Amino acid sequence: MTRRRSAGPDEDGGAEAALAPTDADGLERAADEAEAAGDLEGAIRLRFRAGLLRLDDAGAVAFRPSLTTGQVARALRLGAFETVGSTHDTVVYGRRPATGDDVERTRRGWEQVLGHVGAAPGRGDGA
């Protein structure tokens, strides 16, 4: 995957991006709330950002707003991230409506990615 779009906070996020927590655990909670409210795209966006912050905490990538999905994929070389990144980009940038399967696929994918790099969800402090 060679996406050129930013993997970080994006210009489409508007008020959501401005109001979103800046720590991984807070973003996960916000993603759960978005999912429960039926905002599946929002849940995918927020969980993606949380995952990037956890990857940064683990030293797997250096998070910055201009970080692209392709750059993360090349740094990690993990099939699970390819799935997460592709789903995120298709929904967020490709404007395909998100489904419950997309949310579950990205949740499972992040668990695999973060488990591989030792940055399990719920460890937003990087410990």
Q: What is the DSSP string of 48-73?
A: HHHHHHHHHHTTSS---TT-BHHHHH
The model's pLDDT over 32-46, given as tens digits with 9 standing for 90+, comes to 999 999 999 999 999
User: Residue 20: what pLDDT?
Assistant: 59
* Position 65 in a domain: yes
State the residue for tokens 């905490």. 57
* Position 47 in a domain: yes
pTM of the prediction?
0.80
* Position 31 in a domain: yes
Question: Which backbone phi and psi does 6 adopt, to 5 degrees?
Answer: -65, 135
* Position 4 in a domain: no
User: Residue 15: what pLDDT?
Assistant: 43
Domain that residue 83 falls in = 22-117
* Position 102 in a domain: yes
Positions of the chain with pLDDT lower than 70, given as ranges:
1-21, 120-127
* Position 92 in a domain: yes
